[in-house]
Structure 1
Amino acid sequence: MNFWQNLSVIEPPFVVVKVEKTNGSTPRASDAKMVITHDDVLGTIGGGNMEYQAISLAQNLLKSSQDKIVDWQTFPLIPRFDQCCGGRVQLSFEKVTQQTLWFQKLKNLSLNDFKDYVLIHQNNNIPRTLITLEDFNKNRFIHNSTAQNQFFEPLIPVQPKIIILGAGHVARSLIHHLTPLELDISCYDTRACELNKIKQPNVKKKLFDDAQSMMNAVPNHSYCLIMTHSHRLDFELTKSCLVRAGLLKFIGLIGSKAKKHRFVQQLINLGISSAEISKLECPVGTPNIQGKTPELIALSITYQLLEKLQQDSLRPKDFKEPYCVSELSV
């Protein structure tokens, strides 16, 4: 579950602290959040003196009357906290109680409904409002002269689709590294016994009879990682991926340089173009991490995949200006 889904099961009162704007070098980017209750702190906005001070301010807000439930603070990191990052961070503090309207709606949502809602709020003094994405787009909450300080956040942000073809040792280790991140992860295999070994609840597991039906289920614009138990199945999946190379964000194949050489020769014989073949990353993973254990291979793939995700960054760097949600729904 993501931040807002986890938040929906916390008992108020608590304070939501969020990084709204950043300028220069800062510990966390815009959108980082944490929750402060009377006896606990969940999440982080970057640690250090700034976070310590933010926790103190949130605890004071918890103890205060209902008159002021929203506060904004700007923190210059060097003069105020002696943090060498040197930038400036604007934080919002919102006290949430049983009477907070948006939270009342949030806690009544089913997990499947979260993707259909967005939180909006105005700079400095107006609490969040929870509305549907449909209503959000109808009202066109986009940047204009009267909405310069308006912020929005989908409850489920656009998540890159990671499709792992194969559920063996490397795949399971890779899933272990990827699941803490906000990614839409699916794992496909022809073996139910291997899929059943994946225990992470946020991973979609799908069982297929053959390569073609497996490949037909791979969505466009996904990051595809091929690591099945069978070289024949790997080849069929690789061929199908390369035919769709223009529609996929990434195609990675586990294996050696010798395996790549054999596959490339076969692909050329089948008429796959050199431009399509050039999209194949094999051996998948960064060469900077060497090793043959499933754990090291998975770390190497994670490193390369995160680099690719950073390059493709599907989300705005921060929320300094409002964006139309429909523009993000790719």
Structure 2
Amino acid sequence: MKAFDDGSVRNEKFSPAMKWFDAVQSCQQAGVAYALITVLGCTGSTPRDQGSKMVITGDATFDTIGGGHLEFVVTNKAREVIAEGRSVQEIQHFPLGASLGQCCGGSATVLVETFAGCQFNIGLFGAGHVAKSLVSILSGLPCKVTWVDSREEEFPASVPANVTKVVTDDPCGEIATLPEGADVLILTHNHQLDYELCVAALKRLQSGNALRHVGLIGSDTKAQRFVKRLEHRGFSLDEINQIKCPVGLSEVPGKLPMEVAVSIAGELIAIENEGKVTQQKRGLAWKDIKQELGSELGAEVNTEGQGAVLTVKNETIK
């Protein structure tokens, strides 16, 4: 599966006939940006009734809210937000008259929920035992992995939904194709290839095309040898020190492939969450939802029992 930062997907798993709920699951698993569209309410004659849903990605749509210019306008609006990499929730109201070029005569209120694509990108070089163990861990994390090796036979028969397998005779060339801010893990079977990948990563860093983290598997002895070779190649010590070797958390010891993989995964998780602050409030406040839906759709609030229930026409939102 290939998932792109602009929300586009090009893979047989994303069939045009896919229903909205299957599309949501596939987008979530692949880390693809998407918008979930829900018709909250409608009056008069409309293409679809309330509760109708569809999913929009950067280059595809799944299911429908009735087609026509309404769906065209909603799709374009959703793709603008997808292209900006934002996650938003908006309620939009559309009279289905001359302004939309539709003759239905009714109106539709639509909830547009846009989910940004995953920005946690990992370039994994090497398909050996440690890499295979690491992929099994990364498959359960909100990240996108580009897994590179020249040996087709070393890859498993199938890879997780958030992993793109790349078989190439030029692994170093893949360094330049990784998204900005990606994490690079060099775990190959060949020390010379490891060295060449380090050179490619340092050249990319020199060009200003940022990588967030470069990790190299190996011992302290290997690290010292690579420092000397890279200095001889013309890189400064400050540049070379941007490569972490041995890669992984020193607090997590062990030499078994899974132990090393856990150490590397732990380091990546720490890097991904560094500096993040938990917000006290996220999304829409309850009072704002009551005010907006109450004024626009005549919603009623029932506070009997536990919690509160906001009823919009024939639909209940809890």
Q: Same-fold call, TM > 0.5?
A: yes
C-alpha contact 2:186 2:215 (8 A) present in aligned 1: yes
Shift of 1:216: 3.2
Task: Classify 1:181/1:317 alpha carbon distance in 2 versus 1 (closer, same or farther; 3 Å).
Answer: farther
C-alpha contact 2:188 2:194 (8 A) present in aligned 1: yes
Q: For residue 160 of structure 2, what is the aligned residue in structure 1?
A: 200
2: CA distance between counterparts of 1:141 and 1:251?
28
Shift of 1:294: 0.5
C-alpha contact 1:286 1:300 (8 A) present in aligned 2: yes
2:265 alignment partner, one of 302, 308, 313: 302
Shift of 1:209: 0.6
Deviations 1:255-304 (A, max 9, x none): 11111000000000111111211111110000111111100000000000
Matches within 5 A, 1:1-330: 8-9=20-21, 99-101=50-52, 103=53, 105-106=54-55, 113=60, 131-134=77-80, 154-245=114-205, 246=208, 247-311=210-274, 319-320=282-283
Task: Classify 1:209/1:296 alpha carbon distance in 2 versus 1 (closer, same or farther; 3 Å).
Answer: same
Structure number with bigger Rg: 2
- Secondary structure at the residue paired with 2:141? coil
Q: For residue 8 of structure 2, what is the aligned residue in structure 1?
A: none
1: CA distance between counterparts of 2:270 and 2:194?
24
Q: For residue 64 of structure 2, what is the aligned residue in structure 1?
A: none
2: CA distance between counterparts of 1:235 and 1:215?
13
Shift of 1:141: 11
Shift of 1:197: 4.5
What's the C-alpha RMSD, in Å, of the aligned pairs?
4.1
Task: Classify 1:186/1:212 alpha carbon distance in 2 versus 1 (closer, same or farther; 3 Å).
Answer: closer
Task: Classify 1:291/1:198 alpha carbon distance in 2 versus 1 (closer, same or farther; 3 Å).
Answer: farther
C-alpha contact 2:57 2:79 (8 A) present in aligned 1: no
TM-score (norm 2): 0.56
2: CA distance between counterparts of 1:260 and 1:303?
21
C-alpha contact 1:158 1:314 (8 A) present in aligned 2: no
Task: Classify 1:137/1:222 alpha carbon distance in 2 versus 1 (closer, same or farther; 3 Å).
Answer: closer
Higher relative contact order (Cα pairs below 8 Å, separated by 6+ residues): 1
Shift of 1:159: 2.4
- Give the length in aligned residue pairs: 211
C-alpha contact 2:78 2:114 (8 A) present in aligned 1: no
Between 211-220 and 170-179, the greater mean CA deviation after superposition: 211-220
Shift of 1:221: 1.6
- Secondary structure at the residue paired with 2:21? coil
Task: Classify 1:284/1:198 alpha carbon distance in 2 versus 1 (closer, same or farther; 3 Å).
Answer: farther
Shift of 1:184: 1.3
- Secondary structure at the residue paired with 1:249? strand
Shift of 1:316: 8.1
C-alpha contact 2:82 2:115 (8 A) present in aligned 1: no
C-alpha contact 1:163 1:218 (8 A) present in aligned 2: yes
Runs of 4+ in 1 over 4 A off after TM superposition: 109-112, 135-138, 312-318
C-alpha contact 2:127 2:155 (8 A) present in aligned 1: yes
Q: For residue 126 of structure 1, what is the aligned residue in structure 2?
A: none
Letter in 1 for 2:168: F
Q: What is the aligned-residue identity percentage?
A: 31
Task: Classify 1:303/1:153 alpha carbon distance in 2 versus 1 (closer, same or farther; 3 Å).
Answer: farther
Shift of 1:112: 6.3
TM-score (norm 1): 0.54
- Secondary structure at the residue paired with 2:198? helix
Letter in 2 for 1:100: G
